[in-house]
Structure 1
């Protein structure tokens, strides 16, 4: 199968999906490829901050996502053995301290809105296998397959929005430097107890962060920091003491924990790292979101950064197509506008992780 489009986006996560919508809405012929067959990927960043919220409102999408389902967080709490020792409430004039948006709800809105345009095409279950280069060595499309047939897509611009293990980044031979954070993360999900309020709760367990993120639909997502690369060793130990520590930290979820988290297999491991890419663009190609600057889970910046990338990159691509200039120098306008903000946030993540204990020190000294 041979196809053509002005822009081919690889990856239909929040950043890639928003970029596809913005380009299609602007009249740019756009093909979006997603290797998964569905949009129900578990345990992804799903919390919007003010930046993410304002972008959805800017493009008239927030109310549609709100209708699909989201949840405003009332406060952030720091707890010690079931007692709240510190609370953070919304600033004056703010309604919340963050918004949980199930990824399915966000993506379904972005894809539905995009498919209203005839110049937009979404291809699920389609994996990129190679880049097409023209006679001058510029990227001019991709090779892909959907499991049954080979697909060739010619395009003026290829965008890698395909996440922290980006295939496009690898195929384009764009180097990256891994930033270690000293921890990995265990994720799990349990039903929220009756009367549970929309909060983000944090505890210090064994010197590491244990967090509860309230989710829309009556769920709590558990995020437990463990020492980097320690999971194989942990899995050889008894599970009981591990879960007992969680119950001691948050006794209010004891029943749900005992019912739904009964072995190591009930957790999903996330290997935590961030990354720095010296370059995000080449002639005819750009990478964005986690492909360009993987974020750690701290502060839930990842999804918001990807949405902001999409907003800036859409304008840069539209200008590039208008002037028939998709060179590296033209596409670098995207990188130049976003890099400083991204690197600042990555520094903030490291600082927040190093300072997490500080939230509990005053309480510990008093007791």
Structure 2
């Protein structure tokens, strides 16, 4: 099989880029390792930039029809008391389930004959010419080996990128001193879409409303301490959680029973020296993993795709230079990562006066 553009990784960035290229007449194949779209955990909150990009390409309405939820309130709690509340006529972020976002984009892309995608397909090796340039992959689907060649290979396969590893591109991991425990519970019947913040045991506690009447709880713990945390009795933690967010005490009591109800996210940001290498280009978490702070990861991936789509569609593939795009995006991403570190360092300041 030969295609003009081969994109590995059907997350938001890879899916959006494949749609943009197909829409502009470029024969594009999208590969995804998992058997179901949205099976891998990725960010699910749009900010204003992400919303703008989806609207720019007439995708937001499709996402909205499947289901999304704007957050209209932002609240801070201390010792079970509301200390600060902000409301808006727009939103403080939009929860979009990963499956909804990808479904909307892929459905739009399949309207074009020059787009195709394969799920359950793992890349096993990259194809290189004698001059070192990349021109395709060897992949496996349903136990069968495929050789797929292309004019341009794009790695959009996330923080653990197989394409990046096989291309020998080193990644710099930047730890932030904490990891994150996630849990999802049903929302109370009268719950309104909101983002809620509190301090619990001197660590950040975040509550995000989700579509389908759910709430996502995120509790920071010291980096590398989950083994010690889960060896502690669960009930004292559950009691502290109820005292910190009393408005959720009933649903917490009913639905959180052990540490097994939480998922651990190893938190770090990352950067790489180059986003391109001899006919190979990267975007999203593959070259700039973000922390959960501010929910920038999804939106940065969409922005990468937005910019790359314009560049690829505007030039002959054998003459494209990605240097300007890489330089610009590197600067923007570094600024956001620095902003994340500042937000993390200053979060507790909002509660100092109430301590």
Q: Same fold (TM over 0.5)?
A: yes
Q: Which residue of 2 aligns with 1:80?
A: 78
Aligned residue number for residue 107 of structure 2: 112
TM-score normalized by the length of structure 1: 0.94
Q: Secondary structure at the match of 1:253?
A: helix
Shift of 1:196: 0.2
Q: Is contact 1:86–1:359 with CA below 8 Å preserved after alignment?
A: no
Q: 2:231 aligned with 1:233, yes or no?
A: no
SS across alignment from 1:128: strand
Within 5 Å, give how 1:140-179 maps onto structure 2. 140-179=135-174
Please state how far the C-alpha of 1:40 moved relative to its aligned partner.
4.0
Query: Is the 2:152–2:317 contact (alpha carbons within 8 Å) kept by the matching residues of 1?
Result: no
Q: Is the 8 A contact 1:144 1:151 kept in 2?
A: yes
Q: Write the distance in 2 (CA, Å) between the matches of 1:43 and 1:144.
A: 22
Out of 58, 61, 72, the residue aligned to residue 60 of structure 1 is 58
Question: Shift of residue 43 of structure 1?
Answer: 4.8
The answer for the alignment partner of 2:351 in structure 1 is 360
Q: How does 1:287-306 map to 2 (within 5 A)?
A: 287-306=282-301
DSSP-derived class of the 2:132 partner: coil
- Partner of 1:76, secondary structure, is strand
Q: Which residue of 2 aligns with 1:121?
A: 116
Q: CA deviation at 1:318?
A: 2.1
Report the Cα distance in structure 2 between the residues aligned to 1:45 and 1:65, rounded to whole angstroms.
Answer: 15
Equivalence for 1:245: 240
| 1:335 partnered with 2:329 | no
- Superposition deviation, residue 147 in structure 1: 3.1
Contact 1:175 1:279 in 2 (8 A): no
Indicate the larger mover: 344-353 or 34-43: 34-43
Q: Using the TM superposition, give the Cα deviation of residue 239 of structure 1 relative to its aligned residue in structure 2, in angstroms.
A: 0.9
Q: Is the 8 A contact 1:81 1:251 kept in 2?
A: no
User: Shift of the alpha carbon at 1:174?
Assistant: 1.0
CA distance in structure 1 between the partners assigned to 2:40 and 2:264 by the alignment: 12
Task: Provide the C-alpha distance between the structure 2 equivalents of 1:96 and 1:222, rounded to a whole number of angstroms.
Answer: 19
Matches within 5 A, 1:1-367: 3-41=1-39, 43-90=41-88, 95-320=90-315, 322=316, 324-326=318-320, 330-364=321-355
SS in 1 for 2:287: helix
Aligned residue pairs total 355
Distance change (3 Å), C-alpha of 1:323 and 1:71: closer
Query: Using the alignment, how far apart are the partners of 1:273 and 1:26 within structure 2?
Result: 36
| Residues 254-294 of structure 1: per-residue CA shift (max 9 Å, x gap) | 12112221011111100000001111101111111000100
Q: Unpaired segments of 5 or more residues in structure 2?
A: none
Q: Secondary structure at the match of 1:113?
A: helix
Gaps of 5+ in 1: none
| 1:88 Cα deviation from its structure 2 partner | 2.9
Tell me, what secondary structure is at the counterpart of 2:113? coil
Distance 1:138 1:360, change over 3 A: same
Compute the displacement of 1:60 (Å).
Answer: 0.6
Contact 2:11/2:38 (<8 A) preserved: no
d(CA) in 2 for partners of 1:42, 1:260:
24
For the residues of structure 1 that align with 2:334 and 2:165, how far apart are their CA atoms?
A: 21
C-alpha distance in structure 2 between counterparts of 1:215 and 1:105, whole Å: 12
The CA deviation at 1:324 is: 2.6
Structure 1 stretches of 4+ with a deviation exceeding 6 A read none
Give the whole-Å Cα distance in 2 for the aligned partners of 1:41 and 1:181: 26
